[in-house]
Amino acid sequence: MGLIDRRTTLAGLGIALASMPAVPAFALPDARFARGQRTTGWLDFDFWNDRRVFLPARINGVAGEVMLDSGVSGVVIDTAYARSLGLSSGRDLTAFGMAGSTSGSIAREDVTLELGSLTVRPAQVMLLDLQAISQAMARPLNVLLGRDLFEAVVVELDFDNRRAGFHAFRGFRPPENARATPLVRMGRLRSIPIAIEGRRPVQAVVDLGNGGAIDVSERYLRENGLLENRAVATTAVLGVDGKSIRSALTLSRVAVGGFELTDMPAEVAPVWSNDQRGIDAPAYVGIDLISRFRIATDYSRNRLWLSPAADFGSPFRRDRAGLRLLPLEGAYEVFHVSDLGPARPAGFREGERIVAVDGRPVPTGPGRASSRWNERAAGTTVTLTMSDGTERRLVLADYY
């Protein structure tokens, strides 16, 4: 088996992985369709909170699910889930993120993933504790499926109908109205050209594991004068390594594959992992942008095919409360209060817990979905019940 990069990213989850130094060549996964087939046909997926793509799968013969994440350079399995599958830890690796690091390992045993009629045997599998991410998502996350799938087959995602198809490279035909944009190799990941507010095109990593629209490096924004005369608010992300403070702003227009999107929320990372890894990609495009299209990735021909989805021109989701919340059992815990958002003058502080929204208790149990109350229209008044029984009225606002 080939060794993985010294550093590969789980960018959308705020994680980067490091292990043994990479060798020049790396082993590709083995992927095969059932006898006589060249496609899985359409498979339904769960678009969790409209931010993550979960697919039913069999992992070493056991029924489960995987999350698609093109920003991961391989396959990652949660350590506790791996033990339940009989997998053991081999060579150590370290996961680096914005706020620190955590330890993981390479699985000793082979792993087989089945998606409908497609069977994928990854070149190697990384074991990492994903429980913090599961908690932040309010859903179990056991398997991340990244580069090994995208290198092996065409991945087609139809967000309008919540379905995915996996096809052999040979003979694949994109939808008639789809436009092709080049995919460029960036280490073990792939990127596409985008143009931000009319500047010259730059490369942006395609990251299905990123729940937002776009992440941009602070260095790129400063060099192009894109931080001037606009509101820039604090925000935060939570990964396996802890909390990382970022900035949030709005980009007036971003061009992707000949299509233009407007008023796009962006997150800014002051410490850009690509700078440390020597990858010249100042941006990551995430699921909130990607899901505006029906997409098909063809790594064999270095092409991403795009056709607008039904909600292509709809407004982007954005927080209007100024709070970052951690879902707990029956409560939301405040882990960041933005400096510009309406929550700070309303008296919210980190560590407080919200137990009800407009009189409705915060959901309990695994798989609980967010009510997305913080994304309601500006000017909406929301009544939040705190853990001590007091109520606070919060007027939502566009603050960045």
**Domain check: are 288 and 202 in the same one?**
yes
- What gap in Å lies between CA 70 and CA 295, rounded to an integer? 13
**Domain check: are 87 and 188 in the same one?**
no
Residue 347 has pLDDT above 70, yes or no: yes
Give the pLDDT confidence score for residue 25 in this predicted structure.
Answer: 42
Amino acid, res. 264: M
Domain end, chosen from 167, 196, 211, is at 167
Q: For residue 279, name the pLDDT band (cuts at 50, 70, 90).
A: low
Instruction: Provide the residue range defining the domain that includes 108.
Output: 7-167
**Domain check: are 28 and 129 in the same one?**
yes
Give the pLDDT confidence score for residue 95 in this predicted structure.
Answer: 60
Give the pLDDT confidence score for residue 366 in this predicted structure.
Answer: 61
Q: Average pLDDT, stretch 245-266? A: 96
**Domain check: are 301 and 333 in the same one?**
no
Residue 315 lies in a domain: no
pLDDT in tens, 65-94: 999 999 887 899 999 999 999 999 999 987
Residue 314 lies in a domain: no
Specify whether the CB–CB gap between 339 and 371 falls below 8 A.
Answer: no
Give the pLDDT confidence score for residue 159 in this predicted structure.
Answer: 98
SS (H, E, C) the chain: CCCCCCEEEEHHHCEEEECCCCCCCCCCCEEEECCCCCEEEEEECEEECCCEEEEEEEECCEEEEEEECCCCCCEEEEHHHHHHCCCCEEEEEEEEECCCEEEEEEECCCCCEEECCEEEECCCEEEECCHHHHHHHCCCCCEEECHHHHCCCEEEEECCCCEEEEECCCCCCCCCCCEEEECEEECCEEEEEEEECCCCCEEEEECCCCCCCEEEEHHHHHHCCCCCCCCCEEEEEEECCEEEEEEEEEEEEEEECCEEEEEEEEEEECCCHHHHHCCCCCEEECHHHHCCEEEEEECCCCEEEEEECCCCCCCCCCCCCCEEEEEECCEEEEEEECCCCCCCCCCCCCCCEEEEECCEECCCCCCCCCCCHHHCCCCCEEEEEECCCCEEEEECCCCC
CATH classification at residue 375? 2.30.42.10
**Domain check: are 150 and 296 in the same one?**
no
Residue 104 lies in a domain: yes
Domain end, chosen from 308, 334, 364, is at 308
β 75-78/125-128 pair status: parallel
**Domain check: are 233 and 295 in the same one?**
yes
Domain end, chosen from 146, 167, 188, is at 167
Residue 77 lies in a domain: yes
Residue 97 lies in a domain: yes
Residue 173 lies in a domain: no
Residue 176: partners with Cβ closer than 8 Å, 6 or more residues away = none
**Domain check: are 232 and 158 in the same one?**
no
**Domain check: are 285 and 204 in the same one?**
yes
Give the pLDDT confidence score for residue 370 in this predicted structure.
Answer: 65
Residue 368: partners with Cβ closer than 8 Å, 6 or more residues away = 138, 327
**Domain check: are 243 and 273 in the same one?**
yes
**Of 4-18, 157-171, 349-363, which gets the smallest average pLDDT?**
4-18
**Domain check: are 263 and 196 in the same one?**
yes
Residue 150 has pLDDT above 70, yes or no: yes
pLDDT in tens, 20-48: 333 334 567 899 999 989 999 999 999 99
Which of 214, 201, 193, 212 minimizes the C-alpha distance to 306? 193
**Of 122-126, 220-224, 361-365, 390-394, which gets the smallest average pLDDT?**
361-365
CATH classification at residue 140? 2.40.70.10
Give the pLDDT confidence score for residue 2 in this predicted structure.
Answer: 25
**Measured in Å, how far apart are the chain's first and last C-alpha atoms?**
47
Percent of the chain with pLDDT over 70: 87
Tally of structural domains, the chain: 3
- Range of 110-119, 124-133, 325-334 with top mean pLDDT: 110-119
Residue 187 lies in a domain: yes
Give the pLDDT confidence score for residue 244 in this predicted structure.
Answer: 82
Give the pLDDT confidence score for residue 278 in this predicted structure.
Answer: 54
| Residue linked to tokens 């390594």 | 241
Residue 99 has pLDDT above 50, yes or no: no
Percent of the chain with pLDDT over 90: 74
- What gap in Å lies between CA 221 and CA 234, rounded to an integer? 16
Give the pLDDT confidence score for residue 369 in this predicted structure.
Answer: 60
Give the pLDDT confidence score for residue 72 in this predicted structure.
Answer: 85
**Of 139-148, 209-218, 273-282, which gets the smallest average pLDDT?**
273-282
Residue 316 lies in a domain: no
**Of 6-10, 297-301, 359-363, 364-368, which gets the smallest average pLDDT?**
6-10
**Domain check: are 60 and 134 in the same one?**
yes
**Domain check: are 55 and 194 in the same one?**
no
Give the pLDDT confidence score for residue 10 in this predicted structure.
Answer: 41
Give the pLDDT confidence score for residue 238 in this predicted structure.
Answer: 72
